[in-house]
Amino acid sequence: MKTLTIIAVIIISIGSLIGYKAYKSRQPGSFDELAQCLTNNRVKMYGAYWCPHCQSQKKAFGRSWKYIDYVECALPGGKGQTKECDDAKIEGYPTWVNKDDKRLSGEQSMSALAELGGCALVTSSNGVE
Cα distances (angstroms) measured from residue 79 to each of 4, 49, 50, 106, 112: 54, 12, 11, 20, 30
The reported pLDDT for the residue numbered 121 is: 84
Pick the closest to residue 120 from 27, 40, 26 (CA basis): 40
The reported pLDDT for the residue numbered 25 is: 46
Q: Which residues, including other chains, have CB under 8 Å from residue 47's CB and lie 6 or more apart?
A: 54, 57, 70, 71, 72, 73, 93, 94, 95
Rounded Cα gap, residues 32 and 67, in angstroms: 7
Rounded Cα gap, residues 62 and 31, in angstroms: 8
Q: pLDDT (tens digit, 0 to 9) for every residue of the chain, 129 residues total?
A: 677 666 655 666 565 555 444 444 456 688 999 999 999 999 999 999 999 999 999 999 999 999 999 999 999 987 899 999 999 999 999 999 999 999 999 999 999 999 999 999 876 554 433
Q: pTM of the entire structure?
A: 0.74
Question: What are the domain boundaries of the chain?
Answer: 32-117
CATH 3.10.180.10 fits 32-117, yes or no: no
Backbone dihedral angles phi then psi of residue 59, each to the nearest 5 degrees: -65, -35
The reported pLDDT for the residue numbered 125 is: 52
The reported pLDDT for the residue numbered 123 is: 62
The reported pLDDT for the residue numbered 19 is: 46
The reported pLDDT for the residue numbered 4 is: 66
